[in-house]
Structure 1
Amino acid sequence: MSRSTSGRVVVAAGGGVAAMKTPFLLRRLREAGFEVRALASDRALAFTTETALAVAAGGPVATEARWFAAEGDALHLDLARWADLLVVAPATAAGLARAAAGLAEDLTTATILGGARKVLWAPAMNPEMWQHPATQANVERLRAWGHAFVGPEHGALAAVGEGEGLGRMSEPETIVEHVRYHLTPKDLEGYTVLVTAGPTREYFDPVRFISNPSSGKMGYAVAEAARDRGARVILVSGPTALPAPWGVEVVHVERAEEMHAAVLERFPETDAVVMAAAVADWRPARTASEKTPKQEGKNVVELAPTPDILAELGRRKAPGQVLVGFAMETRAGRERARAKLERKNLDLIALNFPTRAGSAFGGDHNEVELLFPDGRVEATGRVRKRAVAERVLDHVRELLIAKEAERDAQ
């Protein structure tokens, strides 16, 4: 059964100009499947509004005024007990100092002391304030207590004349990624997973090459999902427009031969490999050192096969390793995918359908069939690539556990 994003998140807006982004963060968290509640300091409401936060959260906002309302409850304790994670965004220098000092003079710090299970800070402040020894000492103390941080990042700052620097709050999408990481069970902890992604480029000359439209999104989704589940992740990536995932060892390559070398070098240290890259099958037999000028008539180019990385891994696979391949077919998909599964000694193969609506190259969704050596076929339907990644990793984990049990029984 594939997992889905879930968890309860309280988002506390501190008194900085970046509080203008807090409603967007709440909205992104809800879109990602989290339950959310909003908390705002009085100073935060100078930069955003209670109405904006309430609409984004889909419910009332916890404020200082409500904390002291004559209702007979303890709002800070209610929030602490309800939340799986407290996200402070933006987190100011003053907020960090109060929390590090163990104070409970505002609703956010009282919620922390009231038993918040996990705390994630998203700092936003002037670079001098962030780099000040007092702030850094507060950060280290909070880290020692188990608190986590996302950012700050280098970028344009809010105040007139500040320019750029290290102190900008991470974007809502980045914070959501960290929330997902902190709320995902670490069922792949202790394993090393190698993932390949993206296309390769096989050059005719310095400016022309054979390639394909692969965006790398499927492989990157697998790498990010494995990271969130606690695995050490190595991502060998062909050329893509995607940012390198945080918390992942990324190896950039361009040609199939480079990917072949990078994967084989690291294969012995891995527990599982997911080959999601769209590696070119052919390369020009000769690559010109200079750009080939245009000429009249036909130009015949001799092609040579590229290394079959997956087949080589199948030959080298140790008894405890798991090997997953991807197949992209426009005709006789199951027959060809099953033949590839058997020929290359795979544990699982994911069959893509590039000509089906909504699952073509470059999109955020995919539709695959998972084929197993015992003849089983499992269809995902059209879902987000992250959901496909989770389904694949569910089976990777099952296979790893089964192989460990076989080894222990011997």
Structure 2
Amino acid sequence: MARVLVAVTGGVAAIKAPHLLRLLKRAGHEVRVLATPRALEFVTPLSLAVAAGGEVATEEAWFRPDGRALHIDLARFADLVLVAPATADALAKAALGLGDDLLSATLLAGPRRVAWAPAMNEAMWLAPQTQGHVERLKALGHAFFGPGHGPLAAEGEGEGWGRMLEPEELLERVRALLTPKDLSGLKLLVSAGPTREYLDPVRFLSNPSSGRMGYALAEAARDRGAEVVLVSGPTCLQDPWGMEVVRVESALEMRAAILERYPHLQAVVMAAAVADYRPAEVHRDKEPKTGEEKTLRLLPNPDILKELGANKGNRVLVGFAMETREGLHRAKEKLLRKNLDLIALNYVGREGVGFGSEENEVVLLSRTGEVEELSRRPKREVAHRILDWVKLFWKEYGHAQ
């Protein structure tokens, strides 16, 4: 993991800095924090120190008693300096090359990477002077996370551009920035979540899939530089940034969305839990409850994965197999029958790795005969290992640059 220096400047969004620091530490990063005098008008040094797990670098501590300059130490420490929130003043000083305070001097001392999370009024963000500073910093290789659109802090300003991204999204942006781009050039589609097959406007057939595995795959591929399309059934997860997200409900809608994009893809990972059947009859109005037995006639849904495999060409194709028993035998049969490069086998009902869990436990079977068991771990880690296999086959098919 990386060493991250979070530089907090004087905006209302500074109150979110302790939460951001905790998230970064929880993700495994080594964290230090710098706070400007104005920042300390919004958040206390104690709250920052507790969240970071160490002392806060301030103007008062700029030059150490032993003669070392704190700005040099901080610049050498950081794999990334994240300025969050970033005010217009901080942007201007960095763009002009000033070094008259601890933050601007640290940025001038040559840290390896710098990222900004702007937070200011929309008029200030859109001002030609600010935009000129942003372009100058981008030309120097600095990254910008946002700003986002939403409620502004000043009374009566309503909504606009200039709101700092939430700490959870900043964590994702940091992760993406620091991840090597070994899948750059890959055009990948990931399917995720369940599908719903409606009986009437309020009743449907579905399954408990949360979509977390598919979303982890899409986000990990994006972080590694791939061009990603996420086709998602109904979930309560937010659309990930940095990719095309296509929301669908039924298996037929998912099939149409995938086939439309299939000719332009180099790889597909089908992580969605697609319903095998749909009702033969869909009622336009809600059916009244009668208390009597009913017979429900079902039609088989198209086998999307098999259809993709029949027209595979030199694309990388990955599927999932969810079983309760005889898993390896069934997964191998599915791998061959659907013309896949890789299949991920997992078992329903295992505690902590079932539907909705943050973790997974899978067995990977490849078309070349390898079997790799992945013990229980976060779904993001499982996703990266699956993508390692995708990269291997992608190179084999001659796509990799």
TM-score (norm 2): 0.95
Quote how far apart the aligned CAs of 1:255 are. 1.0
Q: CA RMSD in A?
A: 1.8
Residues 327-342 of structure 1 mapped to structure 2, 5 A cutoff: 327-342=321-336
Aligned partner of residue 398 in structure 2, secondary structure: helix
Query: What aligned pairs does 1:2-401 form with structure 2 within 5 A after superposition?
Result: 6-319=1-314, 321-401=315-395
Question: Are the counterparts in 1 of residues 64 and 70 from structure 2 also a CA contact under 8 Å?
Answer: no
Partner secondary structure for residue 85 of structure 2: strand
Q: Deviations over 1:30-61 (max 9, x none)?
A: 11111111111122122222222222222222
CA distance in 1, matches of 2:122, 2:386: 42
Which sections of structure 2, spanning at least 5 residues, go unmatched? none
> Match for 1:353: what amino acid?
Y
8 Å CA contact 2:59, 2:101 repeated in 1? yes
Query: How far off its partner does 1:82 sit?
Result: 2.1
Corresponding residue SS for 1:121: strand
Q: Is residue 2:401 matched to residue 1:402?
A: no
Deviation at 1:209, TM superposition (A): 1.3
The whole-number CA distance in structure 2 between the counterparts of 1:19 and 1:70 is: 29
**CA shift for structure 1 position 404:** 2.3
210-219 or 292-301, larger mean C-alpha shift: 292-301
- Structure-2 separation of matches of 1:118 and 1:269: 34
* Secondary structure of the structure 2 residue equivalent to 1:140: helix
Which SS does the other structure have where 1:307 is aligned? coil
SS at match of 1:404: coil
Tell me how far 1:27 sits from its aligned partner. 1.1
- For residues 82 and 278 of structure 2, the distance between their equivalents in structure 1, rounded to whole angstroms, comes to 49
Between 136-145 and 204-213, the greater mean CA deviation after superposition: 136-145
CA distance in 1, matches of 2:373, 2:35: 44
Give the residue type in structure 1 aligned to 2:365. Answer: L
Deviation for aligned residue 1:287:
1.7
Deviation at 1:116, TM superposition (A): 1.7
Alignment-mate amino acid for residue 388 of structure 1? V
Matching residue of 1:3: none
Deviates more, 1:122-131 or 1:360-369: 122-131
User: Could you tell me how far apart the structure 2 residues matched to 1:267 and 1:191 are?
Assistant: 13
Q: Deviations over 1:227-265 (max 9, x none)?
A: 000000011111111111100111111111111111112
User: In 2, distance between residues paired with 1:44 and 1:266?
Assistant: 48
Shift of residue 337, structure 1, vs aligned partner: 1.2
Shift of 1:158: 3.5
Inter-partner Cα distance in structure 1 for 2:148 and 2:31: 25
How far 1:162 moved relative to its partner?
4.4
Q: Output the CA distance in 2 between the equivalents of 1:159 and 1:232.
A: 38
Q: Which amino acid aligns with 1:355?
A: G
1:314 shift after superposition: 0.8
Q: 1:326, 1:283 → 2: CA distance?
A: 21
Structure 1: where are the runs of 5+ without partners?
1-5
Q: CA deviation at 1:159?
A: 4.3
Aligned partners of 1:255, 1:297: CA distance in 2, in Å?
A: 28
Residue type of the partner of 1:338? K
> Letter of the aligned partner of 1:379 in structure 2?
E
Q: In structure 2, what is the Cα distance between the partners aligned to 1:174 and 1:205?
A: 37
How many residue pairs align between the two structures? 401
Displacement, 1:163? 4.4
Q: Provide the C-alpha distance between the structure 1 equivalents of 2:391 and 2:184, rounded to a whole number of angstroms.
A: 10
Q: What secondary structure sits across from 1:336 in the alignment?
A: helix
Secondary structure of the 2:397 match is helix
User: The residue matched to 2:91 in structure 1 has which SS?
Assistant: helix
Displacement, 1:100?
1.6
**Cα distance, 1:71 vs structure 2:** 2.4
Distance 2:153 2:255 in 1: 46
Cα-to-partner distance string for 1:265-295 (whole Å, 9 max, x where unaligned): 2112111111000000000112222322223
In 1, Cα distance between the equivalents of 2:149 and 2:50? 30
Give the letter aligned to residue 67 of structure 2.
G
